[in-house]
Amino acid sequence: MVALDPLELLFGGMGKLGPGSNADTLQALRSLPKDHFDLVVDAGCGAGRQTLVLATALGVTIHAVDSHQPFLDELRRRAEDAGVASRIQTHCMDMSDIPTVFSSIDLLWSEGAAYNIGFADALAQWAPALRSGGFVVVSELAWLSDAAPAAARDFFRAGYPDMKLTTENIRLAQEAGYRVLGTHTLPRAAWIDDYYEVLEPRATTLASHQDAAVRALAQETLKEIEVFETAGDSYGYVFYLLQRS
């Protein structure tokens, strides 16, 4: 019997695997003091919504890194459809191994993925792969208020206990040797459009699935959406625009 993949059942075929939008990606990209980069790496690219945006906007090869091959396969299909397949190279590997494969990166991009190895750890691990003066643009889940509702605190205490205030993440980036050029917080619509509005009915259907792992992932997703609906103003995804010293 073929083992079920809960991630594939819940997220398969989705263009967005997390909060974000093409407009927000472009806003962050255009906020950088430079518009040409020779070596670009998208760390934790998922199905590559932002990868396609970068390939189109920059016109250079984007090295898309993810540890889940089905997501990379989906990215390849989408890149073919978008006519940018020649500008995207996929790499099935762990984000923490980026310095062993790449060096002198001009722009390292990562949307909603750094938490997998920790925000501060990711910045420290990626630093050796960046050229002097290279840029990192990373979006990270952060508290926007130090008075978040208990429901949100409890949910993320279990799911992401290392989540910090935006100001704390700025300090961590500076301590890691980066200059903070700016920040940008995703608007509410970037969570809902093509993400929660697609994910919620899928999760509702899978919440009674016969496989326990599938049920657990679906029920956790529904709880996440419930927390967002009641306490979403107290946290959000924040882009940090950084330059390596």
* Matching CATH number, 17-188+234-244, of 3.30.420.10, 3.60.15.10, 3.40.50.150, 3.40.605.10: 3.40.50.150
Return all residues near 50 (Cβ < 8 A) that are at least 6 apart.
20, 22, 25, 42, 109, 111
Q: CB of 18 within 8 A of CB of 58? A: no
Give bridge partners of residue 184 from the DSSP assignment: 239
Instruction: Categorize the per-residue pLDDT at 232 as very low, low, confident or very high, splitting at 50, 70 and 90.
Output: confident
Instruction: Categorize the per-residue pLDDT at 3 as very low, low, confident or very high, splitting at 50, 70 and 90.
Output: low
- pLDDT, tens digit, for every residue of 96-124? 999 999 999 999 999 999 999 999 999 99
Extents of the domains making up the chain:
17-188+234-244
State how far the Cα of 62 lies from the Cα of 172, in Å rounded to an integer: 27
State how far the Cα of 67 lies from the Cα of 109, in Å rounded to an integer: 16
- pLDDT, tens digit, for every residue of 40-68? 999 999 999 999 999 999 999 999 999 99
* Angle, CA 182 vertex, CA 18 and CA 151 arms, to 5°: 45
Give the residue ranges of DSSP H helices in the chain.
Answer: 6-11, 22-30, 49-58, 69-82, 98-101, 119-126, 150-159, 166-175, 189-191, 197-206, 212-231
Q: Rounded mean pLDDT of 36-41?
A: 96
- Which pair of structure tokens corresponds to residue 102? 């790449």
